[in-house]
């Protein structure tokens, strides 16, 4: 159970799917690149993602990984 209440459902999803929620005006590739830049700008977020088993080339994000991203970047 999440510590926070989100309007969006926190479920496992593809990295591209989450990225498109943050940047619907961009191409899927550009949206993923932007999301990964944002993640890289937050050392705490990056460290927490790595603890969950996240790898840079991962295409699928677990519900916990999605929750961490939303927690640090805000809801899309």
Per-residue confidence (pLDDT) for residue 6, from 0 to 100: 74
- Residue pair 36/44 in contact (Cβ under 8 Å)? The answer is no
| Whole-number Å distance between alpha carbons of 50 and 58 | 11
Per-residue confidence (pLDDT) for residue 67, from 0 to 100: 95
Which residue ranges in the chain fall short of pLDDT 50?
1
Per-residue confidence (pLDDT) for residue 72, from 0 to 100: 95
Per-residue confidence (pLDDT) for residue 4, from 0 to 100: 62
Per-residue confidence (pLDDT) for residue 7, from 0 to 100: 82
Per-residue confidence (pLDDT) for residue 1, from 0 to 100: 40
Instruction: Indicate whether this model's pTM tops 0.85.
Output: yes
Region of 45 please: left (phi>0), alpha (psi -120 to 50) or beta: alpha
């Amino acid at each position: 159970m999440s510590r926070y209440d989100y309007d969006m459902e926190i479920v496992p999803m593809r990295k591209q799917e989450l990225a498109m929620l943050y940047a619907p005006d961009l191409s899927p590739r550009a949206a993923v690149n932007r999301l990964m830049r944002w993640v890289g700008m937050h050392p705490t977020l990056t460290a927490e993602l790595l603890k969950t088993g996240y790898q840079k080339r991962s295409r699928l994000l677990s519900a916990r990984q999605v929750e961490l991203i939303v927690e640090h970047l805000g809801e899309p």
